[in-house]
Amino acid sequence: MKKLLLSAVIAVFGLTGLKAQSTGFEAGAFIGFPIGDAGDFTSINFGINAAYYWTVAENFQAGLSAGYDHWTAKEFDTGMGKIKGDDLGFIPIAATAKYDFGGFFGGLDLGYAIYAGSGGGDGGFYYRPRVGWNNTSFNVYGFYKGISNDGSISSLGLGFDYKF
């Protein structure tokens, strides 16, 4: 039984190695518009991201992604002067996957966003479903993104990734 299990593991890793020859590095930028509670205290969301993908099945890629995600704080007039809150910064690290539907794609990033802003703050669960157009040189996509930890911040936006 142990030999059978070992043979199966070796076969799976061998097949995975064959698929892993189709790999790709992508890097890009995005801009988003805060929605929900985040829209009350931030005005814009922008950042950069990079991902490395392996082809695991026909039309399906999975990989790892990381980046920097910045949320610009709004300025408020209190009647006694203007106050601006702290900007928020996060470093999302996630597993990523996308499926190609013949030029269009659907994708999902799931992971953790490390808080990297000024002042006190916490990271949280990071999720980013996206849909877009995919060609051999670049991706253009729309996304919904959220970071959740005892509440959440979220945005809707557009992104562009260049394929290397």
With a pLDDT cut of 90, the percent of the chain lying above it is 65
Domains in the chain, please, with CATH? 24-163 (2.40.160.20)
Could you please report the per-residue DSSP string of the chain? -HHHHHHHHHHHHHHHHHHTTSEEEEEEEEEEEEETTHHHHEEEEEEEEEEEEEEEETTEEEEEEEEEEEEEEPEEE-SS-EEE---EEEEEEEEEEEEESSSEEEEEEEEEEEE-SSSS---EEEEEEEEEEE-SSEEEEEEEEEEESSSEEEEEEEEEEEE-
Q: Evaluate if pTM is beyond 0.85.
A: no
pLDDT tens sequence across 92-129 = 999 999 999 999 999 999 999 999 977 777 899 999 99
